[in-house]
Amino acid sequence: MFIDTHCHLDMFEDIKGILERAKKRGINHIITVGIDLESSQKAVQLAETYDYIWAAIGIHPHNAKMFDEKTYIALEKLAQHPKVVAIGEIGLDFYRHLSPAEIQIKAFKAQIKLAKNVKKPLIIHCREAILETWQILEETQAFNCSGVWHCFPGDIDLARKCIEKNFYISIPGIVTFPKAERLQKVVKEISLDYLLLETDAPFLAPVPMRGKTNEPAFIYFIAEKIASLKNTSLQEVASKTTKNAMKLFHFCP
């Protein structure tokens, strides 16, 4: 059994086909993740429709310029839903700067506050902002929430620091790319007890599906690569990462 801990099902038209292919590959749970208020609401609707789909809600740093008090109140209400398992994806993105840095920071801190209030783990987005993200997590005592670094952007030292703070490391299809040596080193050296699997579908399709639209069924290829890097079985990767996801997000099979 596999769990795709991070994808964006609201971006697909053929949901039925996506889910059928995922089931055939042994993906028994999927967390669909919001990036704005609309997609967060859709995530909850999908989670209500399918018992094996769960929702995360939040405002992505790209969309932080849309964040205001009304948005916070709406997210706070959504967060009470029993199928909402995390606040995310939230964080900082200083690569594309689609929202000004100071607005990203404000939205990030507000959503950390929300996560602490509703006692949900965090799903962290971080691109070209590792130091700033870490500083905010420490300042706001966000590590008390626990959580996961989505599409892990750092090196082995950052991975170890995250683990010390009770955060998980999420491994996307990037790990299958030939030039992803830094992420591959993280996978080799970090225990399976701290790793999660994610597709970030429809983005970042893994080898051998590069060039295609990513989907949850492709989690298989990510798990296969991790098993190879760690010289262990696919079954072991599935078992450990599934256990980790259930421990972090508090849902049962």
Q: Which residues participate in the annotated binding site for a divalent metal cation?
A: 6, 8, 89, 125, 150, 200
Written as six digits, the tokens of 128 are 């070209």
Separation of alpha carbons 23 and 234, rounded Å: 17
Q: What is the DSSP string of 61-100?
A: GGGGGG--HHHHHHHHHHTTSTTEEEEEEEEEETTT-SS-
Binding site residue list: 6, 8, 89, 125, 150, 200
